[in-house]
Structure 1
Amino acid sequence: MKNIIHLLIFALAFSSCKNEEKIPVIVKEIIPVPEFRYGYNIDDFVLIQDTIKSGESFGEILDRHHVNFPKINKIAGEIKETFDVRRVRAGKPYTILASKDSIQKAQVFIYKNNKIRATVVDFSDSIIKAHTYLQPIKTVQKIIEGKIYSSLSNSMDSLHLSPNLTNTIADIYAWTLDFYKLQKGDSFKIIFEEKYIKNNLFAGYGEVKAAVFNHRGEDFYAYRYLADSIKGITEYYDTDGNMLRSQFLKSPIKFQYRISSRYNLKRRIAHYGYRVKAHRGTDFAASNGTPIMSTANGTVVESRRRGGNGNYVAVKHNSTFTTKYFHMSRRKSKVGDFVKQGDVIGYVGSTGSSSGNHVCYRFWKNGKEVDPFKEKLPAAKPLNKTLKPHYLEFVKPLKYQLDHNQLSVPEQPVIENVVQN
Structure 2
Amino acid sequence: MKSLVRIVSLVLVVVGIGALLWQREVSELPNYPTSDSPETDKAAPLPEDQPDPIPWTASEVTVGRGATITKLLQDQGLEYSEALQLVEAARPIHNLERIRLGETLIIRRDQRTERVVGLVYPLDRYGEQKMVVRRGSGSEFVARREARTVRLVPKTLSGVVTESLWATREQLGLSAENIVALAGVFEWEVDFNTQVREGDTFRVVLDEVLDAESGERLRYGTIHAAEYVNAGQIYRGIRYVDSEDKVGYFNEEGMSTKKMFLKSPLKFSRISSGFSRKRFHPVLKKWRAHNGIDYAAGRGTPVRAIGRGKVVYAGTKGGYGKHVRVRHNARYSSSYSHLSRIAVKRGQMVDQGQLVGKVGSTGLATGPHLHFEFYVNGGYTNFLAQKFPRTEPIADSERDAFNARLAHILPLLVDAPPADSASPEPASP
Same fold (TM over 0.5): yes
**Aligned equivalents of 1:105, 1:216: Cα separation in 2:** 64
Equivalence for 1:331: 341
1:62 aligns with 2:73: yes
**Aligned equivalents of 1:156, 1:77: Cα separation in 2:** 39
**Matching residue's letter, 1:110:** V
**Aligned equivalents of 1:67, 1:105: Cα separation in 2:** 8
Residues 43-52 or 365-374, more deviating: 365-374
CA contact (8 A) 2:321 2:338 kept: yes
SS in 1 for 2:207: strand
Q: Alpha carbons of 1:242 and 1:151: their partners in 2 closer, same or farther (altered >3 Å)?
A: farther
Q: Deviations over 1:195-219 (max 9, x none)?
A: 2336364422111111111223221
**Aligned equivalents of 1:378, 1:70: Cα separation in 2:** 65
Equivalence for 2:63: 52
SS in 2 for 1:55: coil
CA contact (8 A) 1:284 1:360 kept: yes
**Matching residue's letter, 1:186:** D
Equivalence for 2:204: 190
SS in 2 for 1:388: helix
1:83 aligns with 2:80: no
Residues 148-157 or 232-241, more deviating: 148-157
CA contact (8 A) 1:46 1:98 kept: yes
Superposed displacement of residue 382, structure 1: 3.6
Q: Alpha carbons of 1:131 and 1:298: their partners in 2 closer, same or farther (altered >3 Å)?
A: farther
Q: Alpha carbons of 1:77 and 1:357: their partners in 2 closer, same or farther (altered >3 Å)?
A: closer
Q: Deviations over 1:103-159 (max 9, x none)?
A: x43332211232222112234245753322122224333222222235655676775
- Which of 120, 125, 134 lines up with 1:122 in the alignment? 134
1:222 aligns with 2:233: no
User: Which runs of structure 2 are paired with 1:135-146 in the superposition (5 Å)?
Assistant: 135-146=148-159
**Aligned equivalents of 1:128, 1:141: Cα separation in 2:** 41
SS in 1 for 2:74: helix
CA contact (8 A) 1:303 1:331 kept: no
CA contact (8 A) 1:148 1:185 kept: yes
Q: Alpha carbons of 1:354 and 1:83: their partners in 2 closer, same or farther (altered >3 Å)?
A: closer
Q: Give structure 2 stretches of 5+ with no counterpart.
A: 1-45, 419-429
Count how many residue pairs are aligned between Structure 1 and Structure 2.
362
- Which of 399, 405, 409 lines up with 2:416 in the alignment? 405
Identity of aligned residues (%): 23
**Aligned equivalents of 1:319, 1:73: Cα separation in 2:** 60
**Aligned equivalents of 2:135, 2:142: Cα separation in 1:** 7
Larger Rg: 1
- Which of 116, 120, 143 lines up with 1:110 in the alignment? 120
Superposed displacement of residue 251, structure 1: 0.3
Equivalence for 2:261: 248
Q: Alpha carbons of 1:74 and 1:185: their partners in 2 closer, same or farther (altered >3 Å)?
A: closer
Equivalence for 1:12: none
CA contact (8 A) 1:295 1:342 kept: yes
Superposed displacement of residue 250, structure 1: 1.1
**Matching residue's letter, 2:128:** I
Superposed displacement of residue 267, structure 1: 3.2
**Aligned equivalents of 1:49, 1:89: Cα separation in 2:** 15
SS in 2 for 1:181: coil
Equivalence for 2:23: none
Q: Give structure 1 stretches of 5+ with no counterpart.
A: 1-38, 408-421
Superposed displacement of residue 387, structure 1: 0.8
Q: Deviations over 1:310-360 (max 9, x none)?
A: 2333456678765321123x2152537876543444443444233565311
Superposed displacement of residue 270, structure 1: 4.0
SS in 1 for 2:242: strand
Q: Alpha carbons of 1:73 and 1:334: their partners in 2 closer, same or farther (altered >3 Å)?
A: farther
- Which of 338, 358, 361 lines up with 2:372 in the alignment? 361
**Aligned equivalents of 1:392, 1:73: Cα separation in 2:** 58
**Matching residue's letter, 1:352:** G
**Aligned equivalents of 1:54, 1:351: Cα separation in 2:** 34
Equivalence for 2:31: none
- Which of 246, 259, 278 lines up with 1:267 in the alignment? 278
Q: Alpha carbons of 1:284 and 1:400: their partners in 2 closer, same or farther (altered >3 Å)?
A: same
**Aligned equivalents of 2:328, 2:86: Cα separation in 1:** 46
1:207 aligns with 2:225: no
User: Which runs of structure 2 are paired with 1:282-293 in the superposition (5 Å)?
Assistant: 282-287=293-298, 290-293=301-304
Residues 306-315 or 71-80, more deviating: 71-80
**Aligned equivalents of 1:253, 1:220: Cα separation in 2:** 20
CA contact (8 A) 1:62 1:106 kept: no
CA contact (8 A) 1:107 1:124 kept: no
Equivalence for 1:173: 186
CA contact (8 A) 1:146 1:156 kept: no
CA contact (8 A) 1:146 1:155 kept: no
Superposed displacement of residue 220, structure 1: 0.8
CA-based RMSD of the aligned residues comes to 3.6
**TM-score with structure 2 setting the length:** 0.71
Q: Deviations over 1:160-214 (max 9, x none)?
A: 6444422221111111112211223322111122223363644221111111112
**Matching residue's letter, 2:196:** L
